[in-house]
Amino acid sequence: FTIYISFVFAKILLATKKCLCQRARISRVMASNGVISQGLTRLNKPFCNYSSWMRRRQYEEVPDEFELPYHNNHQSEILDSSGQPVMIKIDVPVPLRDEPRFPKEKWKTFYSFVILVANFILATVSLSLVHERLPDREKYGPLPDVVLDNVQQIDWALDVSEILIMIGVNSCTILIIFHKHRFIVMRRVFLIMALLYMLRSITMYVTVLPVPNTSYYCSPKSNSTTPLVIAKRVFQLLSGFGLSINGKHTFCGDYIYSGHTVMLVLAYLIISEYSPKRFYAIHWAAWLNALVGIVMVLLAHGHYTIDVLIAYYVTTRLFWTYHGLANNGMLLKQTSNNYMGREWWIPYLRYFEKNIRGPVPRQYEWPISWPRRFFSKLPSRES
C-alpha cells in the first residue's frame, strides 16, 4: 500500500511539473506579444491540455494558429487596457514529423519485382537441368509414400488444384490493388516469392526424385544441356506460368519442394494478413481454398507428401519471420543476442523496410485517381 501511495504521489508531482512548464511557456508567449496579465495566479485547464493538443495536431488538420479561450472568472483572466477580456492567438509551430510514415518508394517495388523475375528464371533453369537427370521411369517407380500408397491416383485433381491456385492469386491481386499501401505490400510479396523460388531451385536440383504420377507426360530427354536447349525450355515454362493445365509444363523433376503448395499457402497468408480482420468469411474461404488445393495435389500424385510438408513449413516460416522482423525495427539491428538478425537475407530486408515504421495498417482506397478527383469537384452542402 505504501508503494502504491508513493507511485500515485509521484505521478501527481510529474503532472504538476508538466503544467508548470506549460504555464511558463505560455507566459513567455504572452510577454512577447505585449499582453497585460492581471491576476494570473493559477493556470486554467486549456493550458494544461496544450501539449496533448499539440500531439493531436501532428495527425489532424488544424489551422496554423488557434484561439485559446479564457474563462471569465475571478481566479484567472487576461484583460486589455480597457478592462475587457481578450482572446490570445498563438502561432503553432510546424509538426516535427513531415515525412509520411508509410512511403510508397515505387523504385524499391520495381527492384523487388526484378529480383522475383530473376529467381523465377533461375527456378526454370534449374528444372531444365533437372529434367535431364530424372530417373528412368521404366527402371524406377514412385517412392514409397504413406499417403500416395493409400490414395488412388486421380489425374484431373491436378487441374482442380491449379484452378484453385489461380483463384487464390487473383484474389490476392485484387486485395493488393485496393490496399492503400499497395506498393509496400507488393514489395513484400515479391521479395518473399523470390526467396521461395530461389530456395526451391536449389532443393530440386540437389535431390532428384522419381516421378510420383505414373500417367503424367514428361518430355523426352535431349541428352544435352546446351544454352540453346535450356533457353527453349525456360521460354516454354515461362509462357505457361509454370502450370501444367495449359500443357506447357512437360518437364519433370521439380518435386522438392511443392510449388503448388507454396502458392496456395502464400495466397492464404496474404489474405489473412492484409484483409480486414472482421472479414472472417473471406479468411476461412482462403484457408479452405488452400487446404482443398493441397489435397488435390496429393490425390493427383503430383507431389510426394514430403514435398508438401516442406513447402508448408518453408512458406509459413519465411512469411512470419519476414513480417515479424519488418514490424519490429529493433529486431533488424545487429546485436550479439539478436539471432533473428543473423538471417543471410536480412541486409535486403533492411534496405526495403528501413523507412516503414511499424505494421502496415489495413486501409483501402480506390486505386485510380479520376473518380476521386471527379467527386471532389462536386459542390458540397453543409447541413
Q: What residues act catalytically? A: 260, 303, 307
Closest by Cα among 123, 35, 48 to 85: 35
Distance CA 329, CA 354 (A): 8
Query: Where does residue 83 fall: left (phi above 0), alpha (psi -120 to 50 degrees), or beta otherwise?
Result: left
Contact by Cβ (8 Å): 271, 172: yes
Distance CA 219, CA 228 (A): 16
**What are the residue ranges of helices labelled H in the chain?**
2-32, 45-48, 50-57, 106-132, 157-178, 182-206, 227-239, 259-274, 280-299, 305-327, 346-353, 370-376
Determine the 3-state secondary structure of 301 from DSSP.
Answer: coil
Grid cell of 258 as nine digits: 511443392
Closest by Cα among 258, 239, 243 to 304: 258
Strand partners, 67: 89
